[in-house]
Amino acid sequence: MNDATLATRPASAPGRTEHVDVLIVGAGISGIGGAYHLTTQRPGTSFVVLEAQADFGGTWRTHRYPGIRSDSDLHTFGYRFKPWTGVPIATADEIRHYMGEVIADNDLARHIRYHHRITAARWSSAARLWTIEAIRSDTDEAVRFTASFLWMCQGYYRHEKGYTPHWEGMETYRGRIVHPQTWPEDLEYAGKNVLVIGSGATAATLVPAMAKDVAHITMLQRSPTYFRSGRNAIALAEELRELQVDETWIHEIVRRRILRDQALFTERTFREPDAVRAELIAAVRAELGPDYDVATHFTPRYRPWRQRLAFVPDGDLFKGIVSGKASVVTDRIERFTEAGVMLVSGRELKADIVVTATGFDLCVLGDIAFTIDGRKLDFADTVTWRGIMFTGVPNLVWVFGYFRASWTLRADLVGDFVCRMLGHMQAKGARQVEVALREEDRDMKLLPWIDAENFNPGYMLRGMHLLPKRGDKAEWAHTQDYWTEKDAIPATDLDDAAFVYR
């Protein structure tokens, strides 16, 4: 892949095409990680990172609502290769600062092109190349690249706009409706009554962050969510720091401890879900006191871990409720009124501002029109190899992280895999690789991307028909299981019949 014919040519003048070995889509945590892995593991590979927005950060740039923070610890949400030295639950600013250091330390900025929205990707089997069309949002210029390999790091949801269901009467509401994904910079909420619809991690972040300033804030949920709370600190990291242990070691040791504890916890949610459920609910009761109606507002109907478990650092959501500044209502919206929302129970909740923390719009592969040799590619017609590659789609990988563990754990695993694959292709003299079902997979049952019994957040259920299919074997599924994949992906035999080279 690094031969002279694939070398980078100077930047594109209008009508010129720039060629790279690898084109990375997106400068979020996955894309910046990809750039690092290529630089360190495949020096000499020419590559660009194309990013639609004006700066890096992805999720941590798009979301600007009050209090925006991670709900994973940054020892595992951070990269394997760069120690995290702050408190475990980090703000978006802190995460972007950390990513900025990775860019600066590894001289990655020269590879990143901002304001480049990719609109189309065409594979040609004759040329064994992807042709990528992008529009520059700063100049409206159309630009074209060719790339031997596409590394899709565009995330899984549409960045421009969040998901807001339609409720009758919305247009009659006199207040302001905002979605956390497109938070208006001019939104004044001090002294106002605010209603937040939803009770996922976003709502649990927004409510305590806004509670200090508003007159009152209500979290309205259809049904309760599981929360865990605790100190925003890791005692082991604190102790190792006190002993002046090197930060590189602290990062690795704390990662291992967290991953072991998470594995034990996840395993318990399957083995003894009732016991875990009772523990989680008892912990919330301890925060809210014996008189609070935990049965109605904090006792979910689903098994723990079927949706992402939100962490509440320092119990701030519960403190807001105990202080009386925040409250929770569990009910359904019948319609909007001029003053707020009318609930099915007949109660009206009045509010000056309604925040719809109702989730994302799933977006498969960045709203890019893909074709293969002139034929439109619908990813829903493909079968995925480990959620990374897709049958019939040459020279393309997608970083789709974990839900039960930090996303970045998988970004690092996929990074190693891609670099190994590129080396393998070079050694074989192959210019094309794609996955194909093997003889033994011919009768394999094809299923939706994810088992809804196992994990079923709303955006996945709404968008499942758009996603590739999985098989009933681990190598033909995104198992969401870091603890087996951390060994299985590096051990993949790249000469297995599932990989077809040309």
Residue 30 vs 262, nearer CB to ligand FAD? 30
Residue 53 vs 382, nearer CB to ligand FAD? 53
121 belongs to the binding site for ligand FAD (CB under 6 A): no
**Could you say which of 18, 21, 71, 434 contacts ligand FAD (CB under 6 A)?**
71
# residues near ligand FAD by CB under 6 A? 33
**Could you say which of 45, 53, 148, 225 contacts ligand FAD (CB under 6 A)?**
53
152 belongs to the binding site for ligand FAD (CB under 6 A): no
For 217, how many CA atoms within 13 A lie in the half-sphere containing its CB? 30
Distance CA(192)–CA(180), nearest Å, equals: 17
Distance CA(426)–CA(23), nearest Å, equals: 17
Specify the stretch interacting with ligand FAD by CB under 6 A; choose among 51-59, 101-109, 190-198, 436-444.
Answer: 51-59
CA distances from 152 to 25, 32, 51, 177 (A): 5, 12, 11, 33
225 belongs to the binding site for ligand FAD (CB under 6 A): no
Specify the stretch interacting with ligand FAD by CB under 6 A; choose among 40-48, 52-60, 187-195, 436-444.
Answer: 52-60
Q: Which amino acid is residue 326, in one-letter code?
A: A
398 belongs to the binding site for ligand FAD (CB under 6 A): no
Q: What is the largest CA-CA distance in the chain?
A: 73
372 belongs to the binding site for ligand FAD (CB under 6 A): no
Specify the stretch interacting with ligand FAD by CB under 6 A; choose among 100-108, 362-370, 374-382, 417-425.
Answer: 362-370
- Under 8 Å CB-to-CB from 436, ≥6 apart: which residues? 391, 392, 497, 498, 500
CA distances from 10 to 20, 39, 140, 356, 464 (A): 11, 19, 20, 46, 41
The CB-of-36 to ligand FAD minimum distance in angstroms stands at 12
407 belongs to the binding site for ligand FAD (CB under 6 A): yes
Specify the stretch interacting with ligand FAD by CB under 6 A; choose among 111-119, 245-253, 332-340, 433-441.
Answer: 111-119
The CB-of-164 to ligand FAD minimum distance in angstroms stands at 15
**Could you say which of 366, 387, 394, 415 contacts ligand FAD (CB under 6 A)?**
366
Residue 154 vs 193, nearer CB to ligand FAD? 154
- Under 8 Å CB-to-CB from 52, ≥6 apart: which residues? 26, 115, 116, 117, 118, 137, 159
Residue 65 vs 173, nearer CB to ligand FAD? 65
Instruction: Write the burial class of residue 244 (CB in 10 Å: 0-12 exposed, 13-18 middle, 19+ buried).
Output: exposed
59 belongs to the binding site for ligand FAD (CB under 6 A): yes
The CB-of-81 to ligand FAD minimum distance in angstroms stands at 16
Strands 340-343 and 348-350, bridge-based pairing: antiparallel
358 belongs to the binding site for ligand FAD (CB under 6 A): no
Residue 49 DSSP code: E
Q: Which amino acid is residue 84, in one-letter code?
A: W
Residue 57 vs 175, nearer CB to ligand FAD? 57
415 belongs to the binding site for ligand FAD (CB under 6 A): no
The CB-of-350 to ligand FAD minimum distance in angstroms stands at 28
- Under 8 Å CB-to-CB from 10, ≥6 apart: which residues? 18
Distance CA(359)–CA(469), nearest Å, equals: 23
**Could you say which of 19, 37, 42, 63 contacts ligand FAD (CB under 6 A)?**
63
26 belongs to the binding site for ligand FAD (CB under 6 A): yes
**Could you say which of 64, 97, 115, 117 contacts ligand FAD (CB under 6 A)?**
117
Cβ pair 136, 115 in contact under 8 A: yes
* Tokens standing for residue 215: 């007159």
Is the alpha carbon torsion for 499, 375, 48, 157 positive or negative? negative
Q: Where are the alpha helices (DSSP H) in 106-234?
A: 201-211
154 belongs to the binding site for ligand FAD (CB under 6 A): yes
- Under 8 Å CB-to-CB from 44, ≥6 apart: which residues? 2
48 belongs to the binding site for ligand FAD (CB under 6 A): no
Instruction: Write the burial class of residue 443 (CB in 10 Å: 0-12 exposed, 13-18 middle, 19+ buried).
Output: exposed
The CB-of-33 to ligand FAD minimum distance in angstroms stands at 8
51 belongs to the binding site for ligand FAD (CB under 6 A): yes
* Tokens standing for residue 368: 């890019």
46 belongs to the binding site for ligand FAD (CB under 6 A): no
The CB-of-24 to ligand FAD minimum distance in angstroms stands at 9
Q: Report helix, strand and coil shares of the chain as percent, to nearest 5.
A: 35, 25, 45
Residue 29 vs 422, nearer CB to ligand FAD? 29
The CB-of-191 to ligand FAD minimum distance in angstroms stands at 26
30 belongs to the binding site for ligand FAD (CB under 6 A): yes
The residues binding ligand FAD (CB under 6 A) are 25-31, 50-53, 58-59, 63, 70-72, 77, 116-118, 153-155, 159, 202, 366-368, 399, 401, 406-407
